Amino acid sequence: MPCGEDWLSHPLGIVQGFFAQNGVNPDWEKKVIEYFKEKLKENNAPKWVPSLNEVPLHYLKPNSFVKFRCMIQDMFDPEFYMGVYETVNRNTKARVLHFGKYRDVAECGPQQEVDLNSPRTTTLERQTFYCVPVPGESVWSFLNLLFNAYVNANQARVSPSTSYTPSRHKRSYEDDEDMDLQPNKQKDQHAGARQTGGVGGLQWCGEPKRLETEASTGQQLNSLNLSSPFDLNFPLPGEKGPACLVKVYEDWDCFKVNDVFELYGILSVDPVLSIVNNDERDASSLLDPMECTDTAEEQRVHSPPASLVPRIHVVLAQKLQHINPLLPACLNKEESKTFVSSFMSELSPVRAELLGFLTHALLGDSLAAEYLILHLISTVYTRRDVLPLGKFTVNLSGCPRNSTFTEHLYRIIQHLVPASFRLQMTIENMNHLKFIPHKDYTANRLVSGLLQLPSNTSLVIDETLLEQGQLDAPGVHNVTALSNLITWQKVDYDFSYHQMEFPCNINVLITSEGRSLLPADCQIHLQPQLIPPNMEEYMNSLLSAVLPSVLNKFRVYLTLLRFLDYSISDEITKAVEDDFVEMRKNDPQSITADDLHQLLIIARFLSLSAGQTTLSRERWLRAKQLESLRRTRLQQQKCVNGNEL
């Protein structure tokens, strides 16, 4: 059995070793999973595994062990494959048993052919998911991962194969560099057996023969152009990175659309997969007979060129709580407790520095900075019936119109959170952009929309750009979708004949001049203490003045506090109830049940922002004080501007 670094460069050799030892006994599959699980427990082993997020595809060896951090964009139909199959040597009649797991193309040596009628052939099922890089991932988050990859995994990079050089759009390592896609003609010399045919999702080949493939003949591919030959179906415009077809063999019920995973598996980029997608008539014999009823459009979408959409056969998968590379991947594990307790011990100065930083970003408004911190650490912690508890959408009104303030404020937020998106709320965008994912039954796929986002994404809606105009039907539907997202933390995907509800957990910040047209849990009116003559210069100097180490502490702070447990003691619960009754007694109109709920939410996140996992009397009074200041400010603004709130 191969050993040493072979598990990275030749994982199928490892699998072959276990299969040879155990034959058709299903225990070999469990042993394979256990082997790679133990390998990844070794010191820094996950960092040595090359990542499709960080290493261009043409640097990765076909059939090597790779990882991919991604969001599940769509789930395709299950596919059948040959779990075990037998080949026969045409000359000697010798028979060899092979495994089909983790393969797209059946292994078949010279003078060998697959015996389709062998009683030892077994047909199994696997699930295919279409996965994309995490939408809206911040540059700092990606660069942190990239830095770790280059420092820890230089040996994981391999030289381009001389026999196969797939073309793909290469992810730029420069923040502002455009994606460059160049079609290449590729030739691949196959020395294996060459009888063309296919059964159960596996293709194979017979006599030696030269195959010539072109991933994109004479055409420029650009994932940002929706009219391209193959739309990579990214939810957000301007996204970069590879999309992958992910084949899952175990526990695929745990994989849900919009979940984020770190996948470890075997990379498959065999050119035969590209041929299946070509319009050449002689390629039709490669298709599974069961798939021949598929439409041409469905075939094109479900079998894209492997040079553009590689395949990953998953060996191990981990659902991610978050995508912040500065924190342990799983905060619930015992080994993460040291990190958490160490950071919590220095939480107070971090909060103070963050408050000062955001106060400067909000032009000297410390009250707005307090509410922005609470917003950035808010999260839906549970659902009671249809009500999502913990959501805290903030409407920051009073933002100067015809100014770059909101754009630069978003840049500040981008530097703090792992994933975000700024929606410019113009009439044109509302009428023409696709917000809601919908089912394309011709291609049998889920076409993504702007609101197909993973949990804990920060969505900044810039309403200061909204001018007078007419919303058409799609625009009205988009406004409704935003309202439902904010109010119920759900998006209703359009399946033509019905709508399917997808719960979400998206932090929404609305910047506006007056009160927002959209619902919000809290409106805070900005009161600038200074107006910089040059907003861009002011914000740039603010960012450059913060040490990278301090900025990283802000990033850890805002991610970590979302996952802390929180409780209210019986004593404090009784005190809050008595306080509520007293406030109602003094002025029945001053506070409602909804106001109490908001006070409790503010008190919750105020406590967590200070590192306290239980509500204290002090934090409750501070929450009431903040709300009183906020309401007073709104009343003052109402007196100035009449009813504009």
266-317 per-position pLDDT tens digit = 999 988 877 655 544 344 444 444 444 567 888 889 989 998 999 999 999 9
pLDDT tens for each residue of 395-414: 999 998 878 999 999 999 99
**Average pLDDT rounded to a whole number, residues 115-141:** 93
Least confident range from 86-90, 426-430, 525-529: namely: 86-90
Most confident of 28-32, 237-241, 634-638: 28-32
The answer to whether the beta carbons of residues 394 and 520 sit under 8 Å apart is yes
Q: Which residue type, as a one-letter code, is found at position 486?
A: I
What φ, ψ does residue 620 adopt, rounded to 5°? -65, -45
The answer to whether the beta carbons of residues 144 and 325 sit under 8 Å apart is yes
d(CA 131, CA 73): 5
DSSP 400: P
**Average pLDDT rounded to a whole number, residues 175-186:** 36
Residue 213 has pLDDT above 80, yes or no: no
Strand positions, DSSP E, 535-644:
none
**What rounded mean pLDDT belongs to the chain?**
84
d(CA 543, CA 535): 12
pLDDT tens for each residue of 525-550: 999 999 999 999 999 999 999 999 99
Rounded to a whole number, what is the distance in angstroms from the first to the last CA of the chain? 72
Task: Indicate the burial class of 348 (C-beta count within 10 angstroms; 0-12, 13-18, 19 or more).
Answer: exposed
Please state whether 601 falls in left (phi above 0), alpha (psi between -120 and 50) or beta: alpha
Task: Indicate the burial class of 589 (C-beta count within 10 angstroms; 0-12, 13-18, 19 or more).
Answer: exposed
Structure confidence at residue 569 (pLDDT): 96
d(CA 223, CA 229): 9
Task: Indicate the burial class of 548 (C-beta count within 10 angstroms; 0-12, 13-18, 19 or more).
Answer: exposed
Please state whether 126 falls in left (phi above 0), alpha (psi between -120 and 50) or beta: beta
d(CA 208, CA 78): 32
Instruction: Spell out the domains of the chain, with CATH numbers in brackets.
Output: 11-152+240-276+294-319 (no CATH), 334-548 (3.40.50), 565-644 (no CATH)
d(CA 439, CA 437): 7
Three-state SS at 119 = coil
**Average pLDDT rounded to a whole number, residues 124-138:** 96
Structure confidence at residue 460 (pLDDT): 98
State what percent of residues in the chain have pLDDT above 70.
82
**Stretch (H or E) spanning 585:** helix 570-586
Three-state secondary structure string covering 446-479 = EECCCCCCCCCCEEEEEHHHCCCCCCCHHHHHHH
**Stretch (H or E) spanning 266:** strand 260-268
pLDDT tens for each residue of 217-240: 233 333 333 334 578 999 999 888
pTM of the model: 0.85
pLDDT tens for each residue of 145-180: 666 655 544 544 443 332 333 333 333 333 433 333
What is the CB-side half-sphere exposure of residue 263 using CA atoms within 13 A? 33
Structure confidence at residue 643 (pLDDT): 56
pLDDT tens for each residue of 339-356: 999 999 999 999 999 999
Least confident range from 54-63, 165-174, 227-236, 482-491: namely: 165-174
Six token digits for residue 76: 């395709």
d(CA 636, CA 117): 84
The answer to whether the beta carbons of residues 40 and 139 sit under 8 Å apart is no
Six token digits for residue 263: 């996948």
Residue 131 has pLDDT above 70, yes or no: yes
Confidence of residue 212 (pLDDT cuts 50, 70, 90): very low
Nearest to 301 by CA among 494, 198, 439: 439
Residue 10 has pLDDT above 90, yes or no: yes
d(CA 50, CA 28): 25
Structure confidence at residue 336 (pLDDT): 87
Q: Where are the alpha helices (DSSP H) in 102-223?
A: 139-152
Residue 388 has pLDDT above 70, yes or no: yes
Six token digits for residue 451: 């609101």
Three-state SS at 53 = coil
Structure confidence at residue 150 (pLDDT): 57
d(CA 506, CA 135): 13
**Average pLDDT rounded to a whole number, residues 317-323:** 95
Q: How many residues does the chain have?
A: 645
d(CA 644, CA 511): 15
Three-state SS at 326 = coil
**Average pLDDT rounded to a whole number, residues 189-193:** 34
What is the CB-side half-sphere exposure of residue 332 using CA atoms within 13 A? 6
Q: Where are the alpha helices (DSSP H) in 336-470?
A: 337-344, 347-361, 366-377, 405-414, 427-432
